[in-house]
Chain A
Amino acid sequence: MAVIWVIAEPNGDGTLARISAEAATLARGLAEASGGSATGLAVAADAKGIAAELAAYLPKVIAVSDAGASGHSWAAVAAERAASVIGEGSDAVVLIGAGPDGRDVAGALSALTGLGVLANATEVSWSDDGPTAETAAFGGKLLTTSQFVGGSGIVTVRPNTTEAATATTAGAVEEIKADAEPVLPRVRIVEQVAEAGAAAPIEEARVIVSGGRGVGGPEGFALVEEIASVLGGAVGATRAAVDSGWIPYAQQIGQTGKIVKPELYLALGISGAIQHKVGMQTAGTIVAVNRDPDAPIAEFADLLVVGDLFEVGPALVTALRARAG
């Protein structure tokens, strides 16, 4: 019987990341479908707190406290402790987020355990051969359905794959002290720096309002932000806007930025270059405001409003506010 593991990823403040709550909800579903069990795994300097949070979603969570997890880069510590709990060459299925931390853990865990990796799943189901993951390749131009040879392995899961839902009863937390000598080098954190303007991760947003070169400058992004706030969404950008220093790199969408799949993607002053398109083309609804009716985005948007974003944008804010009453 398969054990579906979920590795708890911490937010900056040590609380449970939303992606892990989603992965845990997914794991519960897979355990039910497979007749197996779903177990959480939390690694932190003091793992009780985050383990208890994860236990809201799973029948059982193992909390591995390792003093070295504080003051050191988390992923290597977590991967190593997870490898010893899960075991080498085991028949486990491991779910973890597809963000930077999750990828780092998945890569190291694969190397330590010999488990394969299916990356960036947008959907995971169960079949007789184990988990089946849907992923997109070549920037969304191709959708693939993949499995593990032998049925066990590590799946990195994209945000918004599952809606997080707690279990009817909270699970049990089992505590383990990690005292085995670490084999992976631990990388010291000299300093943690918070930067102004750091926004919520755009990968998780339901609505993204993005600005490109057409926004013209940081002042123009004030309009983008206003529209985003009226829609309850996050702000994204093209590389042209990021390279111009108008908005942080964390907000960049595309080939070398984030890949997002919001319900609504509103593109302002964005031409829709292929490197930007690969980051957002799977959005539910794509709306573009562009002066140029022949911009490439005209080929894949649901709605193109031909016009000046500095005229259409304020009109949109007024219309949305009027509608909200």
Chain B
Amino acid sequence: MHIVVLTKPVPDPVAAAERLGPDNRLDRAASPAVVNGNDEYALEAALKLVDALGGEVSLLTMAPAGGTDTMRKALAMGAARGVIVTDEVLAGSDTWSTTQVLAAALGQLTFDLVLAGVDTSDGVGGVVPAGIAALLRLPYLGNAAKIEPDPDSGTVRVRRLTTSGYDLLEAPMPALVVCTQALGEPRYPSLKGIMAARSKEIVTRSLADIGLDASAIGGASALTVVKATKRPPAREATKVVRGTPDEGAAAIVELLAARKVI
């Protein structure tokens, strides 16, 4: 079983130190990065599958040159190797460009499954994986809460969460699956894993390497543009009520009535 997991370095949501460039886009080089939280669920799911079925997990990332540091953290969890597509023109890419790049890079790899996260904590688009599947004509299985590949029949079954329960989907492999948190908690890298990650292979590819024309992709070709950014208005100071339960309840009712919620 060969699984490629799409992992994106994102600014650390806990550090809250995102920096913007002059074009209102994230200055990725200046913002401390971590592996996108949702991609860790996808990676965990992939590792569990190869633990059970044998095979190998590799990572695919589109990121600035510094992306190798973040990728080492994902390699420490247990992935075998990684590919980073990096190119100057990719700074400021929109989801369309990202989709083209990841699809082209996947086209050069062999895999049974591609796993991706539900969305990214920086952009929260959640549209890239479906686009990749469409470009590569891969079966697309979204919102997965359970993934069961059957190497003998060459098919994969996925529980896709719906508003009322789940749909059990089945498709031939290779296929692309989008992973939810319901698949299970990501593991912490072991000390051994962290040591091993240092010598794991990370291959860097340029746009030319994956056969894309740098004049038609990336920041300068973005189909969307950020016109302005602003901080959300500050919330008013918190009112703190201590007292009996009845006094607490009365304070809540009073506020809800004043705001016409009730």
The residues of A with any CB-CB pair to B shorter than 8 Å are 11-12, 73, 75-76, 79, 98, 100, 103-108, 110-112, 114-120, 132, 136-150, 153, 156, 183-185, 187-195, 198, 201, 207, 231, 239, 243, 249-250, 252, 255-257, 259, 263-264, 266, 274-275, 278, 282, 284-287, 289, 293, 298-308, 311-312, 314-316, 318-320, 323
Contact = CB atoms under 8 A, between A and B. Distances in A.
B251 A187 contact: no
**3 pairs of A and B residues whose beta carbons are closest in the complex:** A116-B223, A107-B130, A107-B127
A73 B157 CA distance: 13
Given A111-B99, A146-B225, A319 B249 contact: yes
A75 B140 contact: yes
B195 interface: no
26 contacts: A98-B126, A100-B161, A103-B126, A107-B132, A137-B124, A145-B228, A145-B229, A149-B224, A153-B224, A183-B137, A185-B138, A185-B171, A187-B171, A189-B167, A189-B169, A190-B157, A191-B167, A255-B121, A256-B41, A284-B261, A285-B255, A300-B238, A303-B241, A307-B243, A316-B252, A323-B262
Contact of A188 (B127, B171, B222, B231): B171
A299 B41 CA distance: 30
Nearest to B132: A111
B134 A103 contact: no
Interface string B118-159: 110111111111111111011111110100000000000100
Interface residues of B, number: 92
Given A110-B96, A305-B248, A193 B166 contact: yes
Contact of B37 (A103, A256, A302, A320): A256
A315 B261 CA distance: 18
A300 B57 CA distance: 41
B191 interface: no
A307 to B, nearest CB: 5
B259 interface: yes
Main secondary structure of the interface of B (DSSP, over half): mixed
B160 A318 contact: no
A249 to B, nearest CB: 5
Given A140-B232, A285-B259, A316-B252, 16 more contacts: A73-B169, A75-B142, A107-B95, A111-B96, A111-B132, A116-B95, A119-B123, A138-B16, A141-B18, A141-B232, A153-B223, A195-B165, A263-B259, A275-B37, A304-B240, A323-B253
Contact of A190 (B94, B165, B170, B245): B170
A109 to B, nearest CB: 8
Contact of A312 (B126, B169, B182, B248): B248
B127 A316 contact: no
Contacts of A301: 238
Given A140-B232, A256-B181, A303-B255, A117 B127 contact: yes
B117 to A, nearest CB: 9
Interface string B22-44: 00100000000000011001000
